[in-house]
Amino acid sequence: MGFLFWQQEMKYVLPTPVPIGYSAKLPEAVVSLPTTNSFPNNQALYFHFFNPDCPCSRFNLKHFKTLKKQFETQVKIYAVIPAYADFEYAKEMLDDESIIVIQDTDDALANACGVYATPQAVVIDSQRKLFYRGNYNRTRYCTLKESNYAEIALTALVKGQKPPVFNAFATQSYGCELPNDL
């Protein structure tokens, strides 16, 4: 019983271990996106990194869909899943044909954006500079409005403001490690 509680609850309360050799991407750093995907030029991008098998990724789907509706006319939105994740299951979970789902072969996109756990939000401005990389919210279910980090970052981006400065609750990853730790 204790192991099951650890597997499903407690391990996600702790920060995700930082991989050996990880180099954090700082806001306003140029992001070299993999050429395996064709991203529009001169348009801001919003990547929703998630793993359909990760409980944490399932908890924030409603919040992601709200952000998608709020910002879809101002930024290009993608859902990014690990190479080993079930593509059809991910599309079924998203339940929105307008969301482009990318299967991230060799974690190339995750590495380019500095992502090592899911769920994570990445916002890149139209000049291909990192605007935000981090958590959606301080709480698992995205219920604390004042800590809707991804929403705050997207709002600042579309208003032409500088990237917001957040505390470690926004940028220290929580969730499921990449590659799959399930």
Which CATH architecture describes the domain 39-171?
Answer: 3-Layer(aba) Sandwich (3.40)
Q: Which residue has the higher pLDDT, 143 or 5?
A: 143
Amino acid (1-letter code) at residue 170: A
Amino acid (1-letter code) at residue 83: A
| pTM of the full structure | 0.89
User: Distance (Å, rounded) from C-alpha 19 to C-alpha 16?
Assistant: 9
Mean pLDDT of 150-179: 91
14-52: per-residue pLDDT in tens? 667 888 888 889 999 999 999 877 899 999 999 999 999
pLDDT > 70 in the chain, percent: 85
pLDDT for residue 11 is more than 90 = no
* Strand 100-104 with 45-49, pairing: unpaired
Amino acid (1-letter code) at residue 137: N
Task: Say what angle helices 61-71 and 87-94 make with each other, to 10 degrees.
Answer: 70
Give the three-state DSSP class for 161. Answer: coil
pLDDT for residue 59 is more than 90 = no
pLDDT for residue 127 is more than 80 = yes
Q: 112-130: string of b/e by CB count within 10 Å (b at 16+)?
A: bbbbbbbbbbbbbbeebbb
Q: Cis check for the bond before 164: say yes or no (omega within 30 of 0).
A: no
